[in-house]
Each structure stands twice: as C-alpha cells, then as structure tokens.
Amino acid sequence: MKVIPYLQFNGNCAEATAFYEKVFGVKAEFVYYKDAPPSYGYQPVEGTENLVMHAQFKLGDDTVMFCDMPPEAPVKIGNNIAVSVSLDNIDSVKSVFEALKAGGKVGMEPQETFWSKCFASLEDKFGIGWMLSFEYCNE
C-alpha cells in the first residue's frame, strides 16, 4: 500500500509545482488539459487548456501528485490536506522548512519532540499544510 498525497489547486498548480520543485530539488512531469488524448472524447472547458490536468514528482521513494481543478469543480482552499515528509537529517528539515515558510504561516518551528528528533509544521503560501520530520519514533 502507498499513500500518495494529491494536491488540488484553482488555477495556480503550475506555480505551486514550480515552487515545490525548487524547494525539494526535483523535477515534475506535467499533463495539461489541452494534452488530453482526444480519443477519450475529453474536450477541455474553454479557458482551461493551459491548466494542469496532472503533475507529479518523486520525493525519495514516494510520489506527490497535483492538478488544477476545472471551474465546474473548484477546490476549497483550507486545511483539508497536509503532506508529511520524513527527511534524512535535521539540517534538511530546517532548510526545507525555511524555504516552504516563505509567504506562509508557521505552525511549529523546527524542534525536538517526543516523536521526532526534529519536527516542524507550517502552511505554505498556497494553503497546503506540511509536516517535516527527522527520525520518527516508530522507525
């Protein structure tokens, strides 16, 4: 079983994905609404052609997926998702935290907790919650 977070946006998915690519040093793969195979009978709604139908990148062995929701099904931005990322060392936790907090809201500064040698939480500038940690207590 795998858990794959799927982050949904209202038109700014490409911007958010570019931000995450920079933070984590990864490269995403994209499919835009205009790229949907016509053989499946899908026709993008006018104005959505350049929105992201699907994007994804790998964080270690895990995958994070993204999309722009079509106008007829907008996503409610809020605290409905958080992405938990376990990093290799405390410096990585602090570095990713510093990058993600730009324009966001800090929940907990990086610190030792009973479940992690270093844990931090925040909501980034796109309204996505992140939990960053090193050395979970159950690992």
> What confidence tier does 80 reach under pLDDT thresholds 50, 70, 90?
low
Which residue would you say has higher pLDDT here, 40 or 11?
A: 11
The range of the structural domain enclosing residue 110 comes to: 76-139
Reported pTM: 0.76
Cα distances from 7 to residues 57, 78, 102, in angstroms, run: 12, 12, 19
Q: What is the CATH number of the domain that holds 120?
A: 3.10.180.10
Query: How many structural domains are present in the chain?
Result: 2
Q: What is the pLDDT of residues 87-117, one digit of tens each?
A: 989 999 999 999 999 999 999 999 988 788 9
Residues 68 and 97 in one domain: no
pLDDT at 138: 42
Residues 68 and 88 in one domain: no
Residue 28 to residue 4: CA distance in whole angstroms: 15
Q: What is the pLDDT of residues 23-71, one digit of tens each?
A: 999 999 998 988 877 776 677 778 889 999 999 999 999 999 999 988 8
